[in-house]
Structure 1
C-alpha cells in the first residue's frame, strides 16, 4: 500500500498497490475476507454478549476444553460465511445497478482491494490500547537493551524500576483515535471502490449507480466495527 513499489504491481504512490487487478478466485477473496473476519471475531469474543453466553455453557463446553474450541471454530467459520454472503451480495448489487460486465466474482475481486485498508485500520484500532500499554516496556529496554549486568544504570524511567501504567491513555483518547482511524480507512476504501467502478462501468451514470450499494456496505461495516471497538471501553468504563 506504500509509496515505493519495489517492483511490485500497481501504481506508484499511496494505495497504489491496491489498484492492481486482483485475481477473481475464491481463494484470493477468501484470504482478504479472513483478514477482516479474524479481527472482527477477536472483537466479538470481547463483547459482554459473548461472555454472557460463554458463562451459560455447561461445564463440558467450558473454555479450554476441546468442545469449546470446536464451538469457537464453528463460530469463526460461520462469521466467514456470513462475510462471503454479505460482501458477495453487495457485489451482486453493484454489478446489477451499474450493469457491469463479468461475473459476480469478477466484480467482487475488483472491489476486494478496497477492503484491505479497512482490515489494516481495524487491526491497528483493535490493538491500539494493547500496543500503547505494552509499548511502555520499551522504556526500560532503551535503558539496557542487551540486559547486561555491567551496563550503567540510567535514571527512571529508563531502568527496571519502571512499572506499566495501565491508565496512561484515557479511554476517551483511545476511543476518538479509533474512530478517526476507522473513518479514514473507510474513506480510502470508498476512494478505491470509486476508482474501480469508474473503470468498469460504461458510463458516468452507471458508475454512480454502482457506487451506492458498496457505500451502504461500507457504512454498515463502519457501524459494526465501531460497535465492536466500543465494547471493551464500555465494559471498562
Structure 2
C-alpha cells in the first residue's frame, strides 16, 4: 500500500513539474484597466492530466496521514504574540480614520480629477486604487496574511458614529442568500458596465453603495456587516484561511488553511451558499472574457436576446451549477463513507475546503494584474488630482503564466488538506474519513480544471459591452 502511494506521489509530482516547467507562455493581454493578465495556452489533455495529478496528491494525504490526533495537532500548531490593548486601540482608531479618508479620496478623484481616463484609465486614482490596489492587492493580503477588513472597513467606521434607528435584528430566514446575491450582482455590474474604466461612474457606484450600506448598518447594526454586506463577507471568508488571525490572547500565527480545518463545525447554510458564490464569481470574471462565451453572446444577440440578459443568465446558471455539484458531492460522500451523518452537516463542514480553491484562482487571476499596475498606482497616488502625463506599468516575464497555473494547483492542494482534516473530525476510524473524500476530490478536480482552463484562455473583450 505504501509503495503504491509513493508511486502515485512521484507521478503527481512529475505531472505538476511538467505543467509548470514545460508549458509555453503566450503574450500578455490587456484588461479593462490597461493591466495584463498572462494567458498560457495549454492543450485540454494536459488539464485533464493535471486533474489526475491532483487526485494523486489527495491519495498521498489520505495514505500517510490517518492519525486523528496527529492531524488535529498539525492544525493546532502555531504561536501567539500578545497585543497590548492600548496599542491596539490606537492603531484601530488611526486605521479607521485613514480608511474613511481613502474612501473620500477615491470619490473625489473619481468625480473631479482630470478626465484623461477615457483613453488611459491608469491616470485616475479611483480606478487604480479600487481595482488594482483594493480588489487585487488588498484581497491577496487578506488570505495570504490576515483579515484586516474589520478595522479598515470605512463604511463600518462611519456607521460606528451614526445613531441606530431602532433595535432591529437581522432575520436569519434568508440565510446567506442576500450576501450571495449581492456578490453576484456586484461582479455582474463589474462585467457589464464601464465601472472598471470610467472614474465618474465608479464614484457614483461607490456613493450608492455607501448609502445602501450605511442605511442597512443604522437599522441592523454590526449584524449588517457580519451577515449581509457582500464585501465584508468576502474578506471574512478569505480571512479564515490566512496564517495570521487576531484572538483574545493576541495575534496568532499558524499554518495557511489550518484555521479552516479548526473551524469545521462553524459552518452554516449561509456559509455554504456564500462560499460557493465566492468560488463561482472568481470563475465568472474569467469566463466572460473567453472566446466561447463571446460566441455564445453573439449567437444569443442574433436571436434577439439582449446581451445584458445573457451575462446575467450566465452568472445565475454558473452559480446554480456549482452549488448543485457541491450538494451532490455531500450526498455522495455520505454513501461512499457508509455513514449516517446528515448530508446537510457534511455540506456545512466541508464547505471550508472550497475557500483555498477560490483564493488560489483569485491569486492566479489578479497577482499579475496587481504587479503590472503597481508602478502606475504609486505614481498617481503621489499626485491624485494632478496625475503625471505618463505613467509606467510593469512588464511581466513570459514565464509568469506558468506561475498562474502553479498557484491554482497550490490552492487546490491546500483545499485537499483542509478536506482531509475535516473528514477526520467528522467521521470515525480511518476508512470512513478516507472514503468520504472521494466525491469531494472529484468535485475539487472539476472546480480546478475549470479554473485552469479559464487561466489558459486568451483574453477576448466581452462583446456588446
Q: Give the Å deviation of 1:112.
A: 0.7
| Structure 1 counterpart of 2:197 | none
Q: Which of 234, 238, 246 is 1:6 aligned to?
A: 246
Q: Map of 1:12-161 to 2, 5 A cutoff?
A: 13-14=254-255, 15-18=257-260, 19-23=262-266, 25-56=268-299, 57-58=301-302, 61=305, 67-141=306-380, 145-146=382-383, 160=388
- What residue ranges of structure 2 are gaps of 5+ in the alignment? 1-240
Q: Which of 146, 152, 169 is 2:396 aligned to?
A: 169
| Structure 2 counterpart of 1:210 | 436
- Provide the C-alpha distance between the structure 1 equivalents of 2:339 and 2:371, rounded to a whole number of angstroms: 45
Encode CA deviations 1:106-156: one digit per residue, 9 max, x unaligned.
Answer: 1011111111111112112112332222222145247xx25598xxxxxxx
- Provide the C-alpha distance between the structure 2 equivalents of 1:52 and 1:165, rounded to a whole number of angstroms: 31
Q: Which of 404, 414, 421 is 1:195 aligned to?
A: 421
- Provide the C-alpha distance between the structure 2 equivalents of 1:59 and 1:187, rounded to a whole number of angstroms: 43
Contact 1:197 1:210 in 2 (8 A): yes
Contact 1:121 1:185 in 2 (8 A): yes
| Structure 1 counterpart of 2:458 | 232
Contact 2:373 2:393 in 1 (8 A): no
| Structure 1 counterpart of 2:124 | none
CA 1:54–1:148 in 2, change beyond 3 Å: closer, same or farther? closer
Contact 2:360 2:409 in 1 (8 A): no
TM-score, normalised to structure 1's length?
A: 0.79
State the SS of the aligned residue for 2:325: helix
Cα-Cα RMSD: 2.7
Q: Give the Å deviation of 1:220.
A: 2.3
- What residue ranges of structure 1 are gaps of 5+ in the alignment? 62-66, 150-158
Encode CA deviations 1:152-208: one digit per residue, 9 max, x unaligned.
Answer: xxxxxxx93654347x113x4231111111111111000000001112122101222
- Provide the C-alpha distance between the structure 2 equivalents of 1:51 and 1:123, rounded to a whole number of angstroms: 22
- Provide the C-alpha distance between the structure 2 equivalents of 1:148 and 1:53, rounded to a whole number of angstroms: 41
Contact 1:99 1:201 in 2 (8 A): no
Higher mean C-alpha displacement, 127-136 vs 90-99: 127-136
- Provide the C-alpha distance between the structure 2 equivalents of 1:6 and 1:24, rounded to a whole number of angstroms: 19
- Provide the C-alpha distance between the structure 2 equivalents of 1:100 and 1:218, rounded to a whole number of angstroms: 21
Q: Give the Å deviation of 1:21.
A: 3.0
- Provide the C-alpha distance between the structure 2 equivalents of 1:208 and 1:102, rounded to a whole number of angstroms: 15
**Count of residue pairs the alignment pairs up:** 215
Contact 1:113 1:192 in 2 (8 A): yes
State the SS of the aligned residue for 1:5: strand
CA 1:211–1:21 in 2, change beyond 3 Å: closer, same or farther? closer
Higher mean C-alpha displacement, 126-135 vs 219-228: 126-135
